[in-house]
């Protein structure tokens, strides 16, 4: 007996297969689209809440060897700080050229790091530039404020600048702008030896801007265009670096500061100048408690023991913060912006009235 077995085709119809394929293609495309929309929304939100990253431009700040400071800017080496052009004078400092003092002119030399130099702001918006305008309008005698701030400097390098350029500048007042990470020393000898071998290099890369160095820098600039990526980068750095990054031994740093202030007193006495210490607060201290506040208070106390006038710049900056409702800093940078620099300059202008040198003629015309 023959049994007939029917052949049944159990494969799905071609129409169903095509639908499944379309679904398999749609799912990753939909996920990619959702991720893109989320990234765009995150980018927009970060730009609204934090700000837009500032572009960097070439040429970058170029430094050369200095036996007194380790490094200094190349005289005449104009460059950019982000998109702002920076003029470098004949002494390798930010600002116009410095010659002999004019008759009756009073000179202020400001020493400091990138906060004094004016990282991320225009030449006219640095603390020294604003202070010069205030003093010129407030006094009967001409005033010149020299910007002795350089990026990355610590107190030993700032004192070294005074040793090297003080006799040339011939200041009447020397203002040391102190920030809490100045408790760490700059490696003057090691940096001088390194730059003596290499010649001038870009400060940001510590290499000449050519070849692979230039290629990597350009690649980084593409990443800097995204506010979201910059925020994630900053958060990662804060988590890995720790709160007191860069200061390994605060007690040793304070001991060194005490010696530097003693040296500052000696040097200004030799120059016939009056020393002033101004403590610049960490921006995070404006909105609450911060570990650096006690260090700044100790620095001012040390200065007073050495006969150095001390100025606390935190109160006026905190008032500015409360008035603005946000920290007066550059987005994705952390340095103070032009509004904060003007605020610090105003506070210093008031403080300098107590130490401003007066001649007999000037005393009769200047406000008390």
Phi and psi (nearest 5°) for 91?
A: -100, 0
Q: Structural domain boundaries of the chain?
A: 84-190+249-357
Q: What confidence tier does 366 reach under pLDDT thresholds 50, 70, 90?
A: very low
What one-character DSSP code corresponds to residue 62? E
Q: What confidence tier does 76 reach under pLDDT thresholds 50, 70, 90?
A: very high
| 227, pLDDT greater than 90 | no
**112-137 pLDDT per residue, tens:** 999 999 999 999 999 999 999 999 88
| 167, pLDDT greater than 70 | yes
Query: 131-145, 248-262, 342-356 — which is least confidently predicted?
Result: 131-145
Q: In what order do the strands lie in the sheet with 173-178?
A: 143-149, 106-112, 173-178, 274-279, 309-312
> What mean pLDDT comes out for the span 133-152?
88
pLDDT of residue 99: 95
| 22, pLDDT greater than 70 | no
Query: In percent, how much of the chain has pLDDT > 90?
Result: 69
Q: What confidence tier does 242 reach under pLDDT thresholds 50, 70, 90?
A: low
What is the Rg, in whole angstroms, of the alpha carbon atoms belonging to the chain? 28
| 367, pLDDT greater than 50 | no
- For residues 343 and 5, the model is more confident at 343
The answer for residues whose C-beta is within 8 angstroms of residue 182's C-beta and 6 or more apart is 113, 154, 155, 253, 257
| 193, pLDDT greater than 50 | yes
Q: What H or E segment, with its residue span, contains residue 145?
A: strand 143-149
Query: In percent, how much of the chain has pLDDT > 70?
Result: 84
SS (H, E, C) 232-269: HHHHHHHHHHCCCCCCCCHHHHHHHHHHHHHHHHHHHH
**87-98 pLDDT per residue, tens:** 999 999 999 999
Query: 36-50, 58-72, 217-231, 345-359 — which is least confidently predicted?
Result: 36-50
pLDDT of residue 5: 55
Query: 8-17, 64-73, 103-112, 287-296 — which is least confidently predicted?
Result: 8-17
SS3 93: coil
**CATH fold of 84-190+249-357, please?**
Rossmann fold (3.40.50)
- Cβ burial of 38 (10 Å; 0-12, 13-18, 19+) is exposed
Q: What is the pTM of this model?
A: 0.86
| 359, pLDDT greater than 50 | no
Q: What angle do CA 160, 162, 165 make, to 5 degrees?
A: 105
> What is the spatial distance between Cα 24 and Cα 15, in angstroms, rounded to a whole number?
14
| 335, pLDDT greater than 90 | yes
pLDDT of residue 368: 35
> What mean pLDDT comes out for the span 134-146?
84
- Cβ burial of 47 (10 Å; 0-12, 13-18, 19+) is middle
Mean pLDDT, the chain, integer: 88
> What mean pLDDT comes out for the span 48-68?
90
> What is the spatial distance between Cα 181 and Cα 165, in angstroms, rounded to a whole number?
24
pLDDT of residue 362: 40
pLDDT of residue 364: 35
> What mean pLDDT comes out for the span 282-306?
96
Query: 171-175, 191-195, 219-223, 292-296 — which is least confidently predicted?
Result: 219-223
What one-character DSSP code corresponds to residue 329? B
Secondary-structure breakdown of the chain: helix, strand, coil percentages, each rounded to the nearest 5: 50, 15, 35
- Helix and strand tally (H, E) in the chain? 12, 10
> What is the spatial distance between Cα 208 and Cα 23, in angstroms, rounded to a whole number?
53
pLDDT of residue 17: 61
């Amino acid at each position: 007996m023959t049994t007939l077995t029917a052949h049944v085709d159990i494969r799905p119809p071609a129409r169903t297969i095509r639908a499944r394929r379309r679904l398999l293609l749609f799912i990753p495309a939909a996920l990619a689209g959702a991720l893109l929309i989320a990234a765009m929304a995150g980018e927009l939100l970060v730009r609204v809440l934090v700000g837009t990253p500032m572009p960097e431009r070439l040429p970058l700040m170029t430094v050369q060897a200095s036996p007194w400071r380790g490094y200094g800017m190349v005289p005449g080496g104009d460059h950019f700080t982000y998109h702002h052009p920076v003029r470098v004078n004949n002494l390798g400092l930010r600002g116009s050229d410095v010659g002999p003092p004019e008759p009756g002119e009073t000179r202020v030399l400001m020493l400091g790091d990138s906060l004094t130099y004016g990282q991320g702001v225009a030449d006219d918006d640095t603390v020294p530039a604003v202070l010069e305008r205030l003093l010129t309008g407030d006094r009967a005698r001409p005033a010149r404020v020299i910007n002795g701030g350089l990026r990355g400097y610590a107190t030993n390098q700032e004192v070294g600048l005074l040793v090297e350029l003080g006799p040339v500048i011939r200041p009447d007042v020397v203002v040391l702008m102190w920030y809490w990470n100045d408790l760490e020393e700059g490696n003057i000898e090691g940096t001088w030896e390194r730059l003596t071998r290499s010649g001038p290099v870009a400060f940001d890369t510590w290499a000449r801007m050519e070849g692979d160095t230039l290629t990597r820098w350009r690649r980084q600039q593409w990443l800097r265009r995204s506010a979201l990526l910059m925020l994630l980068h900053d958060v990662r750095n804060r988590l890995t670096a720790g709160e007191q990054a860069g200061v390994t031994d605060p007690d040793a740093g304070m001991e060194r500061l005490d010696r530097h202030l003693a040296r500052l007193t000696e040097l200004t006495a030799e120059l016939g100048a009056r020393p002033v210490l101004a403590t610049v607060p960490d921006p995070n201290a404006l909105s609450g408690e911060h570990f650096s506040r006690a260090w700044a208070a100790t620095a001012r106390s040390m200065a007073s023991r050495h006969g150095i006038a001390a100025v606390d710049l935190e109160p006026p900056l905190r008032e500015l913060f409360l008035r603005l409702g946000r920290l007066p800093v550059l987005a994705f940078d952390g340095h103070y912006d032009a509004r904060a620099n003007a605020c610090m300059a105003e506070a210093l202008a008031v403080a300098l009235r107590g130490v401003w040198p007066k001649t007999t003629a000037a005393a009769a015309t200047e406000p008390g």
